[in-house]
Amino acid sequence: MKKKVLKDIDCEGKKVLVRVDFNVPLDGGEVTDINRLEAAEPTIRYLMDNDAKVILMSHLGRPGGEVVEELRMDPVASELADLLGEEVTKIDDCIGEEVGLAVSEMAPGEVLLLENTRFYPGEKANDPDFAGKLAQPADIFVMDAFGAAHRAHASTVGVARYLPSVAGFLLQRELNALGEVMENPEHPFLAIMGGAKVSDKLEVIRNLYNKIDYLIVGGGIANTFIAAQGYEIGESLAERDKLDLARELVAEAKNQNVELILPEDVVVADRFAADAESRTVPIDSIPEDWQVLDADGPRSLKKYKEIIKQMKTIIWNGPMGVFEFDKFAVGTNEIAKAVAESEAHSVIGGGESASAVRKAGYARQMDHISTGGGATLTFFEGKSLPAVEALDNV
């Protein structure tokens, strides 16, 4: 990576503003998943151990530029304090006199968490005035929120105009892991693409065609491809206006010598519910009023597993079905198991892919699970990340 990283700078005694990704799920005012806090811990601890004053900022949810009480960072501060085993001071603003006063009272090694940056409209607008106010109390900026690196916001890009700016350990690790698999993969190389919309993965698939040998398609995306072959898909989730696009991707795969593998059988349900009646059918026999909730029937899974065993590199983005319902998580879970047990170097895209792998219990057996969702897809598309571009060059 040609950008400066945390170990390139002297942070002792400095006021260090760190953009973390603490956009965590909440339920009744409680944090229900601390994976993003754990991912940020190495950078925070390094700064604490090197006697920096650690000022953390993040967005949380979508408050729309207004204060939303349910989206304050207080529950995050509590969980972070438990994780660090140290006090975390949280204040009710992210700019202004209150921030300046709190920073001036910090001792080296202490941690301060600012309020939700998206309480201000200037955050998403990347307003220079707002970015300058965020940067004002600090000496150094550390970008460590890979999950927000594709967003040109004030707290990810704007502050870098005002402060020496470097990558934190999480961002550095993500860029190295994703960069290695995209630039120097070992073959044969398989991509597994799931999720809801083929349009969301269009540029990813097209960029990957230049690198991969195999592509397995599942999830809602598979329904669109099945329909594009002329089969009826009942009430299944699909982009029915993207059938021509799916056919184009099939043709492009052939032209690029990529073996595109689609389901042969699927699990259908009479309604979208955890306790729905279900059955396994070939793709040419999907009932008119039913819907595909798992794109991996037994015949499909057998074929997928045989391919996975032969691979040296695998990237996976998007679940293969409605994994939130145990009854329809079989395909996703079986794919996770097969990838985890393979000898391939495995990289799991963020978002729902990461959640599915963790839920299935195979997270520790994967080589890399990305903390990004949109950022990972942007990287796989071959596009630059604005928050990385804004950092200081080596």
Assigned domain for 385 exists: no
- Averaged pLDDT for residues 244-257: 96
Tell me what percent of the residues of the chain surpass a pLDDT of 70: 100
- 249 lies in the same domain as 342: yes
Q: How confident is the model at residue 197 (pLDDT cuts 50, 70, 90)?
A: confident
Assigned domain for 388 exists: no
Assigned domain for 394 exists: no
- 347 lies in the same domain as 376: yes
Q: What is the pLDDT of residue 56?
A: 98
Assigned domain for 267 exists: yes
Which pair of structure tokens corresponds to residue 185? 């993969």
Assigned domain for 67 exists: yes
- Cis link prior to 188 (omega < 30° from 0)? yes
Distances (CA, A) of 174 to 74, 143, 146, 373: 27, 12, 7, 12
Last-in-domain residue among 111, 140, 170:
170
Residue 364 has pLDDT above 70, yes or no: yes
Residue 238 has pLDDT above 80, yes or no: yes
- 253 lies in the same domain as 198: yes
Number of domains in the chain: 2
- Averaged pLDDT for residues 209-233: 95
Q: What is the pLDDT of residue 351?
A: 80
- Averaged pLDDT for residues 289-294: 96
Q: What is the pLDDT of residue 196?
A: 85
Residue 263 has pLDDT above 70, yes or no: yes
- The residues assigned a catalytic role are 36, 197, 351, 374
Tens of pLDDT, residue by residue over 313-339, are: 999 999 999 999 999 999 999 999 999
| Domain boundaries, position 291 | 177-380
Let me know: does 387 contact 155? Beta carbons within 8 Å. no
- 102 lies in the same domain as 195: no
Tens of pLDDT, residue by residue over 22-66, are: 999 999 999 999 999 999 999 999 999 999 999 999 999 999 999
Let me know: does 9 contact 140? Beta carbons within 8 Å. yes
Tens of pLDDT, residue by residue over 154-163, are: 999 999 999 9
Assigned domain for 393 exists: no
- 163 lies in the same domain as 187: no
**pLDDT, averaged across the chain:** 96
Assigned domain for 44 exists: yes
Q: What is the pLDDT of residue 331?
A: 94
Q: How confident is the model at residue 1 (pLDDT cuts 50, 70, 90)?
A: low
Last-in-domain residue among 170, 201, 225:
170
- 147 lies in the same domain as 222: no
CATH of the domain at 56: 3.40.50.1260
Residue 392 has pLDDT above 70, yes or no: yes
Q: Rounded distance, CA 290 to CA 62, Å?
A: 34
- 227 lies in the same domain as 88: no
Nearest residue to 134 (alpha-carbon basis) of 154, 150, 148: 154
- 226 lies in the same domain as 309: yes
- Averaged pLDDT for residues 17-26: 96
The runs of H, that is alpha helices, within the chain are 35-49, 74-84, 97-104, 121-124, 128-135, 169-183, 198-208, 219-228, 243-255, 298-310, 330-341, 352-360, 374-380, 386-389
Q: Which residues of 201-237 are buried (b: 16+ CB within 10 A; e: fewer)?
A: bbebbebbbebbbbbbbbbbbbbbbbbbeeeebbbbb
Assigned domain for 386 exists: no
Q: What is the pLDDT of residue 350?
A: 72
At CA 264, angle to CA 182 and CA 292, rounded to 5?
Answer: 90
> 198 or 386: whose pLDDT is higher?
386
Residue 189 has pLDDT above 70, yes or no: yes
Tens of pLDDT, residue by residue over 340-361, are: 999 999 999 878 888 889 989 9
Element (H, E) at 193: strand 189-193
115 bridge partner residues = none
Tens of pLDDT, residue by residue over 118-153, are: 999 999 999 999 999 999 999 999 999 999 999 999
Last-in-domain residue among 149, 170, 191:
170
- 245 lies in the same domain as 268: yes
- 368 lies in the same domain as 253: yes
- 86 lies in the same domain as 151: yes
Q: What is the pLDDT of residue 46?
A: 98
